[in-house]
Structure 1
Amino acid sequence: MVTYGYGQFPYSPEFRIHPIRDFPWYRRFSSGPTLIKLLFDLLLLFKLWRVCRLHGVQLISAHNYEAAALSAIVGKVSRLPVVYHSHGLLSEELPTYFTNSLLRGLARRFGLLFDRYAPRVVTCSLVLAEEEKGILRRFGIPSERMKVIPPGIFLEDFEIPEVPERSPGPRVIYAGNLDSYQTLPLVLEAFKKVIAELPEAKLLIISAGDFTELKKLAEKLAIDAEVQFVNASSFEQTLATLVTGDIALSARSLRGGFPIKVLNYIAVGLPVVTFKSSATAVKHLHNGYVARDGDLEDYARGMIMLLNDRELRAKLSKNALTEVQNYSWTRIITEMESIYRGILLS
């Protein structure tokens, strides 16, 4: 495993981790482009080439955008097959990191170039959902060079022996990063409409990110008393809070990709309210409520409907626990190994 220099690197006899040099003065771990990351990527390129040369690597598995570009170069030089794990469309995500309209336009153009050509220079692309595969096909990527492999989770990690006590009243939960493509300002605006119908409702936002701007917006909307911000110090803490919820939220605005938070939600039996763009793994009124993209009224209506109907929530919760079985790593790893084996044998 070749990776950046920051993070935790536990020893494992099964594989070795090869991090690049760490720079302790740089600790911006959020998504998005920065100039310093270009330096990291250059170091990663040489590290990958060296590891492939010294360890007799037979196949490179590239995780997301930067890794795809670097692996394509090393794969070409070293004559190695490259499997690109695409986690979404760069043309959708990259513009969200800019506020200037000119920069957003340039970012989208660059993202489109990447989305159109990156899958052409690797051996095979693994995409997370059929929608993304369909978009890439319209870009001219041959269907036979793409496989749909959804993300997985370890179901045993979500076994809770006892649900913690919670305060009374309807409880809505969002757990995830605070990047702009999550459209959390829309969530707060929609939740204000929920409070008008259900004054006892509470919204918990769980994240390791900076809550400053969201807290300001909650105060501006006069819902700061109904919104609680929880700093996620560990997965265990997040999980213990998740299981106290009645419903969970995803408001991601990007096409393509797969919001992992949704798997975490349904793994503990939480019905999910989501916009259509992030509705992968959520079926309308089967294990959640799928609102029209950007429609605050519809999104709020979904929250109110589920919070008001205990019987419907119980049905959706049961279906969620059944649906999540399709995303067990045990099942998905078998599919991935089959793809790798086929590439190596060919």
Structure 2
Amino acid sequence: MRLALVLAGRYPDLRGSQVLVQQLADGIRGRGHAVHLVTYGAVASGRPGPRAGRIVRDLGLVVRLWRTVRREAIDLIHAHNYEAAIASLVVGRATGRPVVYHGHNALAEELPLYFRARRARGLAHRLGRLLDAHVPRRADFCIAVTEELGEILRRRGVAARDLTCIAPAAAPCDAAAHGPRVGSEALVCYAGNLDGYQNLGFLLRSFARVRARVPAARLVLVTHAAPGALRRAVGPGVEIVRAASYDEVRARLDAADVAVSPRAERYGFPMKLLNYMAAGKAIVASAGSAKGLRDGVTGRIVPDGDEVAFAAAVVELLSDAAARARLGTAARHAVEDPRAWDGVLDRIERVYRNVLAARSAASTDPEASAPDGLGVAAE
């Protein structure tokens, strides 16, 4: 197969979506398919969220995708998230190529988090609901990264037979051996972007409670992004590190005693969790982002929004090296089996083949329905 994987974002980059798309491209290419990544390219990073400048980049993405489809005789377009999906639907309709939509988030829930004013947040929510209801269902097939996202897409118009939920798994490069823990005391690490949905204000407030009980505790926020206004919000014991490479992220994570995921948004899949687990870290996560964790087995899960419980879980782990080792070892074992990643690639390949088979059948018999097995949601 000749495939175009499309992402409306800067590339290369250390954001979770970019990492996932790169890993999928490498994995699918390794199975003998021709894979072409279509992105914004190595543009300057900017403020996250909606802004006028993205419109120009999105128009450029349409042109770039059109040229790739024509030049490379692409069979199928695999679009990640909304702007890429809109560009892909435009090009797909114009060129007769099928489109698979890969949803990483529910826009009605995420979009308001980029705004402060109440009215702006309300308008963003309504716009997000509109896009949730109209973009995914126009693709030939949909993949959701979580069951929660799959359910919301079904409620907003995607037919159950046209949707499957495929959670990410640790790619072999993620599960590679991490370095030994470098000597540090009471070091807590957050590794990820600084967007509003990450709930970093909650994390900073929780960490202030940690410091009240463990004065030597330190929190490092490792990110690819410019800290902006967040730098003014950090308190004592907090450091923001702008990493230039994934190796630097890994080194900072290896040095930590506890890794944290404060995000409460439930519909996406925080790729940082796979990184934390592969690194063998003791993890504290809010319930909304605790995808794949088992409380007390592979991490500690606390209720969304509960600063006291979050801080208490961090303090408990900082004071108990044996518990950190037990949770970290179990977390690593949970993600190091390569069969999980192979299973992700198997299911995505199956979606591709079924979509192409359905498109071929429809071209020869307009009354033909999708073949059995296209709706793989029950797998």
Could you state the TM-score of these two structures normalised by the residue count of structure 1? 0.88
d(CA) in 2 for partners of 1:8, 1:247: 28
**What are the equivalent positions in structure 2 for 1:264-283 lying under 5 Å apart?**
264-283=275-294
Greater alpha carbon shift after TM alignment, 83-92 vs 280-289: 280-289
Residue number in structure 2 paired with 1:330: 342
| Offset, 1:74 | 2.1
Gaps of 5+ in 1: none
d(CA) in 2 for partners of 1:273, 1:17: 34
Find the residue that maps to 2:295 and give its secondary structure: coil
| Offset, 1:245 | 1.2
Residue number in structure 2 paired with 1:88: 105
Find the residue that maps to 1:155 and give its secondary structure: coil
Give the number of aligned pairs: 336
* Pick aligned residue for 2:225 from 204, 209, 216: 209
Residues 279, 340 of structure 1: alpha-carbon distance in 2 compared, 3 angstrom cutoff: same
Find the residue that maps to 2:234 and give its secondary structure: helix
Residues 316, 8 of structure 1: alpha-carbon distance in 2 compared, 3 angstrom cutoff: closer
Residue number in structure 1 paired with 2:314: 303
Residue number in structure 1 paired with 2:18: none
RMSD of equivalent CA atoms: 2.6
1:229 alignment partner AA:
I
d(CA) in 1 for partners of 2:80, 2:99: 11
d(CA) in 2 for partners of 1:165, 1:101: 45
Task: Report percent identity of matched pairs.
Answer: 35
- Cα distance per residue 1:158-212 (max 9 Å; x no partner): 5346425323x22211011111111111111111111222222221111122335
d(CA) in 1 for partners of 2:201, 2:188: 15
Gaps of 5+ in 2: 14-21, 359-379
**What are the equivalent positions in structure 2 for 1:196-345 lying under 5 Å apart?**
196-219=212-235, 224=236, 226-325=237-336, 328-345=340-357
Residue number in structure 1 paired with 2:146: 129
Residues 212, 119 of structure 1: alpha-carbon distance in 2 compared, 3 angstrom cutoff: closer
d(CA) in 1 for partners of 2:9, 2:196: 26
| Offset, 1:129 | 0.8
> Is the contact between residue 273 and residue 290 of structure 1 (CA under 8 Å) also seen in structure 2?
yes
Residue number in structure 2 paired with 1:46: 63
d(CA) in 2 for partners of 1:246, 1:269: 10
* Pick aligned residue for 1:99 from 110, 116, 128: 116
Runs of 4+ in 1 over 4 A off after TM superposition: 1-10, 12-20
- Cα distance per residue 1:287-336 (max 9 Å; x no partner): 11111111111111211222222222222112201221368533321221
d(CA) in 2 for partners of 1:98, 1:6: 22
| Offset, 1:340 | 0.8
1:266 alignment partner AA:
M
| Offset, 1:71 | 1.3
1:172 alignment partner AA:
V
The structure showing larger relative contact order (alpha-carbon pairs under 8 Å, at least 6 residues apart) is: 2
* Pick aligned residue for 2:205 from 189, 202, 210: 189
Residues 162, 265 of structure 1: alpha-carbon distance in 2 compared, 3 angstrom cutoff: closer
* Pick aligned residue for 2:183 from 166, 169, 175: 166
| Offset, 1:5 | 9.4
| Offset, 1:55 | 3.1
| Offset, 1:337 | 0.9
Find the residue that maps to 1:156 and give its secondary structure: coil
Residues 290, 16 of structure 1: alpha-carbon distance in 2 compared, 3 angstrom cutoff: closer
